[in-house]
Every structure is written in C-alpha cells, then in structure tokens.
Amino acid sequence: MNVFAFLESDVRTYSRKFPAVFTTASGCWLRDEQGKHFLDFFSGAGALNYGHNNPHLKQRLIEYIAADGVTHSLDMATTAKREFIERFNALILEPRNLRYKVQFTGPTGTNAVEAALKLARKFTGRQTVVHFMNSFHGMSMGSLAVSGSVSKRATAGISLHSTLPMFFDGDLGPGTDTIEYFSAFLDNSENGVGVPAAVIVETVQAEGGVKVASSQWLRRLEEVTRRHGILLIVDLPRPLRFWHMLLQSQTLVPMLKWWSPMSISMR
Ligand SMILES: Cc1ncc(COP(=O)(O)O)c(C=O)c1O
C-alpha cells in the first residue's frame, strides 16, 4: 500500500515535487530507498545552511539528549536557553553595541513572521503592513495576508486584509526605481492608508520565482521606512551579509530562520 497516498493528508507541498522516499541525509547529500543519491540544493528551503546532520551539531545534540537535557519546555527558562542568549549577546549584539531582545517563537518560519507582525502592530498602534509582490512568508493567516500568491492566499478561506502590496526591486523594469514610487506613496498623506505599521521584505524572494534585492535597494528601503517611522521586518532565511547592516537600524525586526526560528526586536 502507498501509505502516503492512502493515509497521509493531501495537505502537503514538496513531496509532490520530489517523487522519492528519502532514508538518510549527510552534508549536502540525500539518499533514497533505492540507494540513489541526490545533491540537495533545496536544503530545507535554506534552513540547513550547515548541511544535513552536520557532525559538530550532531555531536552536541547527542551529548545533550544523552545527558537528559530538556527538549520541551514551552517558553520556560532552561540552562540551555540561558547559555544560548548569553552567547548570542556576547558574539553578535554586544560587540556591535546593539540593544535588542531575543524572542523565541514556535518552531516554523511562519511563527516568526506572525510574531513580528503582531509586535509591529502592537508597538505602532497601526494596522497596515506593506509586503511585496511575489512575496512568500508562510501559510498561517497573518503570513498569507503578506504573501503575494493569489492561490496560496485563497487557502485561507476568508478575506485577508490590513496589508498592501508594493513593487519589489526590478518589478517595473531596470529604468524604474520602485523605492521612489513607494516613497512618493508614503509622502502623500491622502494615500488611502496613512502610515503603515511595517514593511515586510525578503532579501531574496524564492517561492514566487527567485529574485535578489540589490543591497542599494534594501538600504534605500530601510532609509524610507526609518524616515516615516515604519518598522522594517526582514524575513531572511538566507543571506547574512545584509543582516549585519540592517542590525544597525533603529526600526528593525529581523527574523532568523536558519537555526531555530526566533525573532529579534527592539528593546
Ligand atoms: C521567506 C520565507 N518566509 C517564511 C517561510 C515559512 O516558513 P515555514 O514553512 O517554516 O513556516 C518560508 C518558507 O519557505 C519562506 O521561504
């Protein structure tokens, strides 16, 4: 019996595109039941930047579990969490004089997006969140509302609102600066929505077709949002270089998906 066809829900995505049953994974390689090897360019949609079962991570994980380390604690305090926060602060935040707090969200990318959207709306007291065309931020309600795909949005089953789509870098061709368009929209006090609470952006769009935002475009987006007191939410499972630059910003809610999802917000 094909267990997946008969007993698993039809609510799945990637298994339809990868017609194999995988057994083991190591580094950049996946192996299926027939012993066929696959070079894994997908890498958990960018979440496995250190590869499958990275030996260093695996060793520490085995040691932690073997020592009966806490593996489920909701958001309670654990020594592992304390150690992680202290180390993150010592290595990333303090050397750059950054005053941020760390929030541990649920175990998916969309959890981090939901947390950032709620935080931005609560902090600003405003509702509208600007997103970009062809964006994808996850399948929960808030994340769908800031995603571009019409078919994915339709899965919500209700109308999704309090969001506004804008043009991404290059959407209007090489001769048209989409930040200028966005800036003019914000400068007009009769634009229909007023000042948005936040802008959410992927530095590299993937699900709607791979598009890389230029550093210059992202810097200008950051400038425009800062000028208008709009929070900038950066959903970036992938490139880290721009993240360092953005951390200098005062109006930032970056979200990190490459290890366990978490978001960092202003203190
Ligand atoms: C940019 C981006 N944000 C959010 C998500 C949602 O992550 P998850 O599927 O872990 O909820 C994805 C998933 O591919 C993504 O590419």
What is the per-residue pLDDT across 42-91, written as a single tens digit (0 to 9) for each? 888 777 888 999 999 999 999 999 999 999 999 999 999 999 999 999 99
What is the per-residue pLDDT across 15-33, written as a single tens digit (0 to 9) for each? 988 889 999 999 999 999 9
Q: Are 186 and 195 in contact (CB under 8 A)?
A: yes
Joined together, the tokens standing for residue 256 give 């990190």
What is the per-residue pLDDT across 245-267, written as a single tens digit (0 to 9) for each? 444 444 445 554 333 344 554 43
Pick the CATH number of 100-266 from 1.10.1040.10, 3.40.640.10, 3.30.750.24, 3.10.105.10: 3.40.640.10
121 lines ligand 1 (CB under 6 A): no
Q: Give me the DSSP letters along 80-117.
A: HHHHHHHHHIIIIIGGGT--EEEEE--SSHHHHHHHHH
State the average pLDDT for the chain.
Answer: 88
- Which atom number of ligand 1 is nearest to the Cα of residue 139? 11
CA-to-CA distance for 234 and 252, rounded, in angstroms? 8
138 lines ligand 1 (CB under 6 A): yes
Q: Nearest C-alpha to atom 8 of ligand 1 is from which residue?
A: 109
CA-to-CA distance for 140 and 144, rounded, in angstroms? 6
Q: Please state the rounded mean pLDDT for residues 222-235.
A: 94
Pick the CATH number of 3-54 from 3.40.50.300, 3.30.56.10, 3.40.50.1970, 3.90.1150.10: 3.90.1150.10
108 lines ligand 1 (CB under 6 A): yes
Give the pLDDT band (50/70/90) at residue 13: confident
205 lines ligand 1 (CB under 6 A): no
Question: What is the distance in A from the centroid of ligand 1 to the CA of 138?
Answer: 5
Question: What is the distance in A from the centroid of ligand 1 to the CA of 188?
Answer: 33
What is the per-residue pLDDT across 183-198, written as a single tens digit (0 to 9) for each? 999 999 999 999 999 9
Domains of the chain by residue range: 3-54, 100-266
Query: How much of the chain is helix, strand and coil, in % rounded to 5?
Result: 35, 20, 45
Specify the higher pLDDT residue, 12 or 200: 200
Task: Give SS3 for 265.
Answer: strand
Give the Å distances, CA to CA, from 116 to 164, 234, 262: 16, 9, 10
Q: Give me the DSSP letters along 184-234.
A: HHHH-TTSSS-S-SEEEE-SEE-TTS-EE--HHHHHHHHHHHHHTT-EEEE
Q: Are 222 and 66 in contact (CB under 8 A)?
A: no
By most ligand atoms within 8 Å of CB, the mutation choice from 113, 114, 137 for ligand 1 is 137
